[in-house]
Amino acid sequence: MRLTCPLCGERDRREFYYYGAEDYLHRPAEGASLAEWDNYLHLRDNPAGMTKDLWYHEAGCSQWLLVTRNTVTHAIAGVELVAERKTEQKAGRAK
């Protein structure tokens, strides 16, 4: 399996550290309920098919990546920079 990092290009899977599902991008607000924290930390959709998850380009540019891929075929549909996503979200909120 190879991932195409938006900064570094197509690289071997061994350059990346797998962190987990996209859920980690949706950290509950301080003071959120126990159920919300449980949902964020432990509960997962765990789909057999398309999923989005977080990878860290450890042996490359050190960027966090949001990868869209198929868990059954291992086909990669897209790789985005988490940092850019966050900037967009902030810009969106400012409007």
Partner 1 sequence: MRYSGLKVITEGLFGNKGWTPAWRDPAPKAEYDVVIIGGGGHGLSTAYYLAKNHGITNVAVLEKGYLGGGNVGRNTTIVRANYFLPGNSEFYSHSMKLWEGMEADLNYNVMHSQRGLINLFHSDGQRDAFVRRGNAMINQGDDAILLDRDGVRELLPYLDYDNTRFPIYGGLLHPRGGSARHDAVAWGYARGADQRGVDLIQNCEVTGIDVEGGVVKGVQTTRGAIRAKKVAIIVAGRSSQVAAMAGMRLPIESHILQAFVSEGLKPVINHVISFGMGHFYISQSDKGGLVFGGDLDFYASYAARGNLPMVEHVMEAGMTLMPMIGRAKVLRSWGGIMDMSPDGSPVIDKTHIEGLLLDCGWNYGGFKAVPASGWCMAHLMATGNSHEYASKFRLDRFATGHLLDEEGTGSQHNLH
For residue 4, the minimal CB distance to Zn ion (Å) is: 9
Q: How many CA atoms lie within 13 A of 21 on its CB side?
A: 16
* Cα–Cα dist 18/58, whole Å: 10
Bridging pattern class, strands 9-12 and 2-5: antiparallel
- The answer to whether residue 57 forms part of the interface with Zn ion (CB under 5 A) is yes
Binding site for Zn ion (CB under 5 A): 5, 7-8, 57, 60-61
Binding site for partner 1 (CB under 8 A): 1, 12-14, 18-21, 34-35, 37-39, 41-48, 51, 53, 55, 71-74
